[in-house]
Amino acid sequence: MNPTLKRLLKNKYVLVMLSFFVYLLALEETDLITLTGYKMKVHELENQEAYYLDQLEQTKTAITELTTDDAALERFAREHHFMKRENEDVFVFLDK
């Protein structure tokens, strides 16, 4: 073993600092591993928040369009609820 390393390991201050670092790294309730996991979870939740805010804006736009424009309401009813006019046939093709 290196004599300098041996001398450092015998120093009580270095041992206390090393043990404190190990304690903070792995043994504490809010250790670095847990904090890293929390940070990743926060990032994931922020991405989800951005996605849902975008979806909310799209839905608000669609609601405004459907309540103000009769042609858009008719198009929506035809596309999503397969409604039809009198004397009209509707063919629905499903992808498998």
Q: Are residues 13 and 39 in the same domain?
A: no
Q: How many domains does the chain have?
A: 2
pLDDT band per the 50, 70, 90 thresholds, residue 42: very high
What's the one-letter identity of residue 63?
I
DSSP H helices in the chain: 3-10, 12-22, 32-68, 70-81
Query: Quick check: is 95 in a domain?
Result: no
Query: Quick check: is 5 in a domain?
Result: yes
Who wins on pLDDT, 54 or 72? 54
pLDDT for the residue numbered 57: 97
Question: What domain range includes position 61?
Answer: 31-83
Distances from the Cα of 45 to the Cα of 4, 26, 89, 90, angstroms: 48, 25, 46, 42
Residue 44 has pLDDT above 80, yes or no: yes
